[in-house]
């Protein structure tokens, strides 16, 4: 799995999700202390709207070894974002994030 030595997408895109996913809401699980309010109905992972972006939950060195501090409790956009080429999934945004951080593109499969 290329993600554990990458992390580029966690430091490239704004990560927005519905506030019902916050652990401050009934049935939610994403730590509210790591998110900022965005609109009346959405919030975002803190740090992902900065320039350059980097999610506060991302641990480690991009392109070396990384992990998500809230992996079990990450929001939907993170769960839906797949590495390009893994399990036949095509996700050009993955390779765009990697290019942004000077990492080689993942091959199509």
Q: Which two tokens stand for residue 18?
A: 């519905």
Under the binding rule (CB under 6 A), the answer on residue 45 touching ligand SF4 is yes
Q: Which residues contact 78 (CB under 8 A, 6 or more apart)?
A: 10, 15, 45, 68
11 class by beta-carbon count within 10 Å (0-12 exposed, 13-18 middle, 19+ buried): buried
Instruction: Give dist(CA 5, CA 13) in Å, integer.
Output: 18
Shortest Cβ distance from residue 41 to ligand SF4 (Å)? 19
Centre a 10 Å sphere on the Cβ of residue 19 and count the other Cβ atoms it contains: 18
Give yes or no for a contact between 40 and 19, defined as CB atoms under 8 angstroms apart.
Answer: no
Under the binding rule (CB under 6 A), the answer on residue 74 touching ligand SF4 is yes
Query: Closest CB to ligand SF4 among 43 and 94?
Result: 94
Shortest Cβ distance from residue 26 to ligand SF4 (Å)? 21
Shortest Cβ distance from residue 94 to ligand SF4 (Å)? 3
Binders of ligand SF4 in range 1-20 (CB under 6 A): 2-3, 6-10, 15
Under the binding rule (CB under 6 A), the answer on residue 55 touching ligand SF4 is yes
Binding site for ligand SF4 (CB under 6 A): 2-3, 6-10, 15, 45, 55, 57-58, 68, 70, 74, 78, 81, 83, 94, 97-98
């Amino acid at each position: 799995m290329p993600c554990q030595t990458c992390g580029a997408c966690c430091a490239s895109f704004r990560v927005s999700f519905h506030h019902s996913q916050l652990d401050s809401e009934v049935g939610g699980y994403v730590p509210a202390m790591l998110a900022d309010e965005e609109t009346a109905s959405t919030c975002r992972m803190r740090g992902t709207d900065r320039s350059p972006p980097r999610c506060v939950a991302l641990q480690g060195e991009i392109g070396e070894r990384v992990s998500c501090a809230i992996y079990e409790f990450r929001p939907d956009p993170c769960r839906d974002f797949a590495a390009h080429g893994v399990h036949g999934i095509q996700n050009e945004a993955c390779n765009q994030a990697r290019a942004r951080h000077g990492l080689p593109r993942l091959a199509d499969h």
